[in-house]
């Protein structure tokens, strides 16, 4: 049973830092959803699990073992040492850092979906919000998510946890500037729509619905400051989620859920966003 001072745990713990993740090309994934998604994708290189968690997630651990990865049993303190969350979940995997270029993420697949849906988070600073938006983007059938500009690292513990495995379900790109991202998205044939509480055009306006029928990208701004006027000048249109009551605004993840599902609804659901035959 490994302790926080075991060499493997000391080495793995370094991956809590973004710089070490980049350098080694490896990330830590904590919790059954993320580890399960990594197992589905055949990505697990190492698995650390407490006796308790091995019992709670016996099926998952068995599945990973059957795929040829022998789990390391660790003390609860060692699992906690690999966790960035308040309640460590006792199951942590090391997987290769998925490296996807923006260009590649924006390529239209050979069997192309009827309409592409791209999600851009500009300067998103809260890892919980970012992870939640990645999860919602996955659920809504988005093609990729870009964490642009000085956004949080998608592979930080809190973001991984909030994404509930979705980080491994669709390409997530980071490290590209916001305006560069919007330029690339538009060059790839997507209309860029900024979600902006002050925009005149409302989400349910007919002209917006028309845009949602084609390839498009939603751009969401920072939790506190929204989108800068520079960014607003680079998009095709700005769109507001209407507020019917007395709230000043929606929070970032809620606004994203409303916009992304309106895209999914307009596209006509699985068949609309599915594959051409």
Stretch of 16-24, 48-56, 73-81, 164-172 lying at the interface with a copy of itself (CB under 8 A): 164-172
Strand partners, 216: 117, 191
Provide DSSP, 221-259.
-BTTTB--HHHHHHSSEEEE----SS-S---HHHHHHHH
Among 16, 69, 114, 250, binds a copy of itself (CB under 8 A): 250
Q: Is 177 in the site for a copy of itself (CB under 8 A)?
A: no
CB of 209 to a copy of itself, least distance (A): 11
Q: Is 164 in the site for a copy of itself (CB under 8 A)?
A: yes
In the chain the beta strands, taken as DSSP E runs, fall at 26-30, 46-49, 72-73, 91-96, 117-122, 144-148, 172-174, 191-195, 201-202, 216-220, 237-240
Stretch of 8-16, 103-111, 135-143, 187-195 lying at the interface with a copy of itself (CB under 8 A): 135-143
Burial string for 248-260 (b: 16+ CB within 10 Å, else e) reads eebebbebbbebb
Residue 170 DSSP SS3: coil
Stretch of 1-9, 19-27, 75-83, 264-272 lying at the interface with a copy of itself (CB under 8 A): 264-272
Stretch of 11-19, 186-194, 228-236, 258-266 lying at the interface with a copy of itself (CB under 8 A): 258-266
By the criterion CB under 8 A, which residues form the site for a copy of itself? 33, 132, 135-142, 162, 164-166, 169-170, 202, 204, 241-251, 253-258, 261-262, 264-265, 269-270, 273
């Amino acid at each position: 049973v490994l302790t926080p001072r075991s060499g493997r745990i000391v080495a793995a713990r370094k991956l809590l830092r973004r710089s070490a993740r980049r350098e080694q090309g490896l990330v830590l994934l904590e919790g059954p959803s993320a580890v399960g998604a990594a197992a589905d994708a055949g990505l697990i290189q190492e698995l650390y699990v407490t006796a308790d968690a091995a019992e709670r997630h016996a099926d998952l651990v068995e599945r990973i073992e059957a795929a040829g990865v022998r789990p390391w049993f660790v003390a609860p303190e060692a699992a906690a040492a690999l966790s960035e969350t308040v309640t460590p979940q006792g199951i942590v995997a090391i997987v290769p850092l998925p490296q996807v270029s923006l260009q590649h993420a924006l390529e239209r697949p050979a069997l192309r979906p009827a309409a592409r849906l791209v999600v851009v988070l500009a300067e998103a600073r809260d890892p919980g919000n970012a992870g939640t938006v990645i999860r919602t983007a996955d659920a809504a059938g988005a093609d990729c998510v870009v964490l642009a500009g000085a956004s949080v690292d998608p592979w930080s513990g809190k973001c991984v946890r909030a994404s509930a495995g979705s980080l491994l379900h669709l390409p997530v790109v980071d490290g590209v500037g916001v305006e560069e991202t919007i330029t690339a998205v538009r060059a790839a044939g997507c209309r860029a729509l900024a979600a902006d509480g002050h925009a005149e055009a409302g989400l349910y306006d007919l002209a917006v619905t028309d845009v949602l029928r084609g390839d498009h990208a939603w751009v969401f701004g920072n939790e506190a400051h929204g989108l800068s006027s520079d960014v607003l000048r680079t998009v095709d249109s700005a769109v507001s989620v209407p507020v019917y009551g007395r709230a000043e605004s929606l929070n970032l993840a809620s606004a994203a859920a409303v916009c992304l599902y309106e895209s999914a609804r307009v596209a006509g659901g699985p068949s609309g966003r599915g594959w051409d035959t």
